[in-house]
Amino acid sequence: MNLSEKALGISQSPTLAINAKSKQMKKEGHDIVGFGSGEPDFDTPEYIKRAAVEALNEGFTKYTPVGGIPELRSAAADYIAESTGVSYDANQVMISNGAKQCLFNALYCLLNPGDKVLIPSPYWVTYPELVKLCGGEPIFVPTNEKEGFKLKADILEPFIDDKVKALIINSPNNPTGSVYPKEDLEEIAQLAIKNNITVISDEIYEKLLYDGEKHTSIVSINDDMFDRTIVINGVSKSYSMTGWRIGFIAGPENIVKAMTNLQSHTTSNPNSIAQKASLVALTNPLKDETVKEMVDAFLNRRNYMLNRIKNIPALSCSVPKGAFYIALNISGTFGKKLNGKEIYDSTSFADQLLENYKVSVVPGIAFGSEEIVRISYATSMQNIEKGFDRIEEFISLLK
Ligand SMILES: Cc1ncc(COP(=O)(O)O)c(C=O)c1O
């Protein structure tokens, strides 16, 4: 069959091959330790599940308004107002099938062919693909480990020209766990205003913060930023609801209207039952406790991992302040060999670790960096201990 240029332009996820290999090995009975997870390992809380059961029993099983039921839009508006410090009306908010569809909607409604979108690197694997799908050109702006992978205005500025339409900010960040401070966001906002750039602020990990870190949304910097920022959030990561597929977008009314029109022809409303459950996730008095329990567990695991990494020669990392990932620098292993096979990039590292020590990690090339692999602490302490014992032995045998 002849496929469209658009379809042919979508790259296969570089994580797929190693994921497939790790799944196959598991199936064959190997005891694999998986550090590849992109979702909390906790179950969705009971009080949220109960709301879904009630919705089902009440027959809440029909189409809803395309942009979500009014109660959920209003709760999402309050939720985003609380997390950003900026107030939104319900008509400036819409509900989509996960933060991923929010991003697609936003990019589709913003980009004309050839528009450039600035993406700080390392980046979440989906951003460049969505930009290309929407006719834009992804432009990668490097951040570095020494500065905790934070985006700096002086590094960003040379990448700006009159084809740049948008900038994607993701703080807390996947895969680095970096959290952008207010001062840096103020400087970035100045550049956005001066150069008429729209900012898409992906704040999906905003509740998962450590070491007293505070979340700042770039939309809160000043009124000008309100007019040029699209905020994206959702229930997936904060309430362990990745499978429910509910995300929300807040932004100026004209783009919310355009995105609602788009969604009306692509997917219609997000799942009615999941909307009812998400309403409870955002409004139940237990919600802060739910987040705290997860954050406490993630913090423990992160600290354990950081301690182990410190004691393994050839490995290093910057301390992640949010989300549940560590960008592990593996460049100290390049040029070394195990059983005659050399490690020379993130894929050869991940391959050898999986093949010989049954630990799966995500090669950094998926995120635009060969120097790192991403390890997730959204897995049990028992797995983490076992995985690090294996990684330590693997590194000690490299010659
Ligand atoms: C940075 C980032 N944004 C968005 C998403 C997508 O979230 P959702 O599952 O709500 O579509 C993810 C999921 O991994 C993510 O890491």
Centroid of chain to Cα 161: 27
| Closest to 399 (Cα-Cα) out of 353, 338, 346, 354 | 338
Mutate to test the pocket of ligand 1, among 100, 123, 201 (most ligand atoms within 8 A of CB): 100
**Ligand 1 centre from 399 Cα, in Å?**
38
CB 108 within 8 Å of CB 262: yes
Measured in Å, residue 346 CA sits from the centre of ligand 1 at 22
For ligand 1, is residue 237 a contact (CB within 6 Å)? no
For 367-394, the pLDDT digits (tens) are 999 999 999 999 999 999 999 999 999 9
CB neighbours of residue 139 within 10 Å: 18
Question: What are the tens digits of pLDDT across the range 205-224?
Answer: 999 999 999 999 999 999 99
Q: What is the pLDDT of residue 259?
A: 98
Residue 14, strand partner residues: none
Tell the residue nearest (CA) to atom 13 of ligand 1.
38
Nearest to 151 by CA among 205, 96, 192: 192
Contact 201, 230 (CB under 8 A): yes
Confidence at 126, pLDDT banded by 50, 70, 90? very high
Distances (CA, A) of 262 to 10, 105, 267: 21, 7, 9
Q: Is pLDDT at 16 greater than 70 in this prediction? A: no
Is the pLDDT confidence value at 18 over 90? no
Q: In this structure, what token pair is assigned to residue 78? A: 């309050």
pLDDT (0 to 100) of residue 194: 98
∠ CA 271-275-277, rounded to 5°: 120
Residue 124 Cα: closest atom of ligand 1: 1
Report whether 73 contacts 247 (CB < 8 A): no
Contact 360, 16 (CB under 8 A): no
Cβ-based neighbour number of residue 89 at 10 Å = 13
pLDDT over threshold 80, residue 19: no
Ramachandran sector of residue 357 (left: φ over 0; alpha: ψ -120 to 50; beta: rest): alpha
Q: Is 37 in the pocket of ligand 1 (CB under 6 A)?
A: no
- Contact present, 377 and 305 (Cβ < 8 Å): yes
- 136 and 116 in contact (C-beta within 8 Å)? yes
**Confidence class for position 268, pLDDT limits 50, 70, 90:** very high
Distance 17 CA to ligand 1 centre (A): 20
Query: What is the rounded distance in angstroms from the CA atom of residue 30 to the CA atom of residue 24?
Result: 9
Q: What's the CA-to-centroid distance between 55 and ligand 1, angstroms?
A: 25
The residue nearest atom 7 of ligand 1, judged by CA position, is 99
3-state helix, strand, coil in the chain (%, to 5): 45, 15, 35
Q: Determine the residue of 174, 205, 238, 374 to mutate for testing ligand 1's pocket, defined as the one with the most ligand atoms within 8 A of the Cβ atom.
A: 174
Q: Label residue 81 by pLDDT band (50, 70, 90).
A: very high
- Residue 172: what pLDDT? 98
Angle formed by the axes of helices 346-357 and 381-396, nearest 10°: 110
Q: How confident is the model at residue 20 (pLDDT cuts 50, 70, 90)?
A: confident
CB 164 within 8 A of CB 131: no
User: pLDDT of 335-360, one tens digit each?
Assistant: 999 999 999 999 999 999 999 999 99
- Max Cα-Cα span within the chain: 64
pLDDT for 23: 84
pLDDT per position as a tens digit, 130-187: 999 999 999 999 999 999 999 999 999 999 999 999 999 999 999 999 999 999 999 9
Q: Is the pLDDT of residue 15 over 70?
A: no
The residue behind tokens 């979340």 is 215
Alpha carbons 87 and 226: distance in angstroms, whole number: 10
Ligand 1 neighbour 233 (Cβ under 6 A): no
For 63-72, what is each residue's pLDDT tens digit? 999 999 999 9
What is the Å distance from ligand 1's center to 32 Cα? 25
The 10 Å Cβ neighbour count of residue 213 is 15
Of 139, 203, 142, 136, the residue nearest 169 (C-alpha): 203
- The mean pLDDT of the chain is 96
Ligand 1 in reach of 100 Cβ (< 6 A):
yes
Domains (ranges, CATH) in the chain? 5-43+288-396 (3.90.1150.10), 62-284 (3.40.640.10)
Regarding the beta carbon of 364 and ligand 1, being less than 6 Å apart is answered: no
Ligand 1: residue of 39, 178, 237, 376 to mutate (most ligand atoms within 8 A of CB) is 237
For residue 227, pLDDT over 80 is answered with: yes
